[in-house]
């Protein structure tokens, strides 16, 4: 199979989407860290937030190298991504770590799938901005602690996780609509990514992750 | 002159104070980033915030290596540091960057002075967590842009900077009172640090920085 060639507009759209995702994830995680029950946990979620901004910088630098102002590349996605976060504001620490756990992993799964459609440096960049597994481990441990302290929490967090996924899917639809064409085309391009299959794989991985921390899908 | 020997309790207090300062600076700068007029500037202040949490991690690791839970070392200072930030919430972007500009620099000046009283690895650690100058350059440039756009802003920001210093001094007094003894002793120890001289040098450097961005003291 020949190396796929990627039209630059699609790469720009994708980098813009991911960059904005990192910037807003930073913002919300930094705010959610205030929900932490102690300074140690607050620092841990703050560090997860800080990692996002490091990734943002790499993506913004790449956009600049492609002669695209990062703000321009991100602009089409501000509405849907902001709406996702506005509609999923955690109201306690358990919800905050569940949001980080669910959101980071689905984002990573999506990026791993999409990376295959990109060429050399951009593929590597997208793989490089995946979240470090120690952050997911921390979030998973916190969810388990919360459930252990009060088993009824499992039900509430399961519902919360379903809401997170529902809101994410709803905003993903808006992202596709906001997209100027190339990004959706990139995701849907023939045998590179099969959208039905992508959706099935993301869902299966999410279900397995929920089970791993004692939540049900 | 023989190398100064530092009592461990003072080092613990100092590392705890600085670590908490980083953690809260992260929190507030991350929130202040929302005041940015565009995504580029928002990302720049977010990156400044993220740098604080990287430093927090180094300080917390050092405390852990000294067998002190970071939360314990930070606890005495939560009241005054939180009060400083609560009483100096910026209400627009110009105030946010001025707060970062003024606060980071005074913190660094203080740490440079205090580093001389510490031994080897802790001295190096404290010097390592000083802010990168590109952050101050960014903040200074933003202040100049704001004044250029509306010269009347200079007066408002000058007053704001005086309030920042006033609140910081007032909370520094509370820090000294909250301190269990060794930190204040460390700062005041004989010829190592002359408190009057320290105060004079910090003030002179602050005045010069104000003038450099078109503000008056």
What is the model's pLDDT at position A116?
83
Distance of CA B112 to the CA centre of its chain: 11
Residue B52 pLDDT > 80? yes
Query: Is residue A1 very low, low, confident or very high in pLDDT (cuts 50, 70, 90)?
Result: very low
Residue A17, CA distances (Å) to A22, A166, A183, B108 in order? 9, 19, 9, 36
Least confident of A161-165, B23-27, B174-178: B174-178
Q: B98-121 pLDDT, tens per residue?
A: 999 999 999 999 888 888 888 889
Tell me the pLDDT band of A5, cut-offs 50, 70 and 90: very low
Distance CA(A91)–CA(A74), nearest Å, equals 28
Mean per-residue pLDDT, B82-101: 96
- Residues in chain B whose Cβ is within 8 Å of chain A: 20, 23, 26-27, 30-31, 33-34, 38-40, 42-43, 46-47, 49-50, 53-54, 56-57, 60, 69-71, 74-75, 78
Per-residue pLDDT at A178: 67
Taking chain B, what is the end-to-end CA distance rounded to the nearest angstrom? 37
Q: How confident is the model at residue A7 (pLDDT cuts 50, 70, 90)?
A: very low
Q: What is the model's pLDDT at position B43?
A: 96
Interior/surface letters A156-173, b for 16+ CB within 10 angstroms, e for the rest: bbbebbeebbebbeebee
> What is the tens place of the pLDDT at every residue in B137-181?
999 999 999 999 999 999 999 999 999 998 988 888 777 776 666
Please tell me the number of Cα atoms within 13 Å of A173 on its side-chain side: 5
The pLDDT of residue B192 is 55
Average pLDDT over every residue of A205-212: 93
Q: Given this model, what pLDDT does residue B128 score? A: 93
The shortest C-alpha distance from A212 to chain B (Å) reads 28
Cβ count within 10 A of residue B121: 11
Nearest-Cα distance to chain A for B101, in Å, is 20
Please, are residues B165 and B88 in contact by the beta-carbon 8 Å criterion? Answer: no
pLDDT, residue B35, reads 97
Taking a C-beta distance cutoff of 8 angstroms, is the pair B176, B184 a contact? yes
- A69/B216: higher pLDDT: A69
B126: tokens are: 């404290």
A18-77, pLDDT tens digit by residue? Answer: 999 999 999 999 999 999 999 999 999 999 999 999 999 999 999 999 999 999 999 999
Q: Report whether B43 contacts A56 (CB < 8 A).
A: yes
Q: Do B46 and A53 touch (CB under 8 A)?
A: yes
Res. A119 pLDDT band, cuts 50 70 90 = confident
pLDDT above 80 for A180: no
Average pLDDT value for residue range A80-90: 94
- What is the percentage of chain B residues whose pLDDT exceeds 90? 65
pLDDT at B62 over 60: yes
Output b/e per residue, A43-72; b: 16+ Cβ within 10 A.
bbbbbbbbbbbebbbbbbebbeeeebebbe
Is the CB of residue A6 less than 8 Å from the CB of residue A118? yes
Query: What is the average pLDDT score of chain B?
Result: 88
% pLDDT > 70, chain A: 90
Helix (H, G, I), strand (E, B) or coil at A110: helix
Of the given ranges (B10-24, B58-72, B194-208), which has the lowest mean pLDDT? B194-208
pLDDT of residue B3: 46
Please say if the pLDDT value at position B6 is more than 60.
no
What is the residue extent of each domain of chain A? Answer: 8-212
A8-212 architecture in CATH?
A: Up-down Bundle (1.20)
pLDDT, residue A140, reads: 97
Question: A87 phi and psi, to 5 degrees?
Answer: -90, 0
- Alpha-carbon span A200 to B87, nearest angstrom: 51
Count interface pairs A-B at CB distance under 8 A.
81
Candidates A26, A50, A75; nearest CB to B54: A50
What local confidence, expressed as pLDDT, does residue B137 receive? 94
pLDDT at residue B191 greater than cutoff 60: no
Contact residues, chain A, for B53 at CB < 8 Å: 43, 46-47, 49-50
Q: Is the ipTM of this complex over 0.85?
A: no
> Given this model, what pLDDT does residue B205 score?
92
Chain B nearest C-alpha distance from A6 (Å): 26
């Amino acid at each position: 199979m020949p190396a796929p060639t990627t039209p630059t507009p699609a790469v720009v759209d994708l980098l813009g989407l991911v960059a904005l995702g990192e910037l807003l994830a930073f913002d919300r995680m930094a705010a959610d860290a205030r929900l932490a029950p102690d300074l140690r946990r607050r620092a841990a979620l703050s560090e997860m937030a800080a990692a996002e901004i490091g990734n943002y910088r790499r993506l913004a630098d790449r956009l600049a190298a492609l002669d695209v102002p990062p703000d321009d590349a991100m602009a089409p996605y501000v509405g849907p991504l902001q709406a996702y976060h506005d509609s999923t504001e955690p109201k306690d620490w358990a919800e905050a770590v569940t949001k980080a756990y669910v959101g980071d992993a689905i984002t990573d799964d999506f990026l791993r799938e999409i990376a295959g459609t990109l060429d050399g440096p951009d593929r590597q960049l997208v793989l490089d901005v995946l979240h470090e597994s120690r952050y997911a481990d921390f979030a998973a441990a916190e969810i388990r602690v919360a459930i252990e302290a009060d088993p009824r929490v499992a039900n509430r967090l399961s519902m919360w996780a379903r809401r997170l996924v529902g809101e994410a899917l709803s905003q993903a639809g808006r992202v596709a609509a906001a997209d100027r064409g190339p990004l959706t085309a990139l995701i849907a391009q023939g045998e590179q990514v099969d959208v039905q299959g992508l959706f099935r794989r993301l869902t299966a991985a999410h279900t397995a992750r929920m089970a791993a921390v004692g939540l049900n899908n």
